[in-house]
Amino acid sequence: MSKRSKACDIPPKVRRAVSERDGGLSIISGRPGISNVHFVPRSAGGLGIEQNIVTLTLQEHHDYDNGGKRKEYRAKIKVYLDEHYPGFPDEKRIYDRWSNFKN
């Protein structure tokens, strides 16, 4: 597994922390969800860190990943993450092979 793949993967510890933070419910609808949705997508180097992961339902995850509601959901996710991690810059949500950042 490459360093980037490893950095973008969501470790069990992060999955548990995100599920606890979100109460196991979608941050969009409040329904039971899954804890593996990257705000900054893996394809764009989105890290598998609490500050980049939220809980959505399977349908919401599909709509977010496939563009159906990407813009709408992205705005809601951004507000949610900013409320929980004030001042956390989007640049730190993205894999940077030159940084010393470690998960």
Tokens describing residue 88: 């956390």
What lies within 8 Å, CB to CB, of 9 at 6+ separation is: 1, 48
Q: Is 87 helix (H, G, I), strand (E, B) or coil?
A: coil
pLDDT in tens, 38-84: 999 998 999 999 999 999 999 999 999 997 899 999 999 999 999 99
Domains in the chain: boundaries: 3-93
Q: What is the largest CA-CA distance in the chain?
A: 39
**Virtual CA dihedral for 66, 6, 50, 20, nearest 10 degrees?**
90
The pLDDT tens digits of the residues spanning 1-46 come to 788 778 789 999 999 999 999 999 999 999 999 879 999 999 899 9
DSSP, collapsed to helix, strand or coil, labels residue 5 as helix
d(CA 8, CA 46): 6
Residue 86 has pLDDT above 50, yes or no: yes
Report whether 64 contacts 72 (CB < 8 A). no
Whether the predicted pLDDT of 102 surpasses 60? no
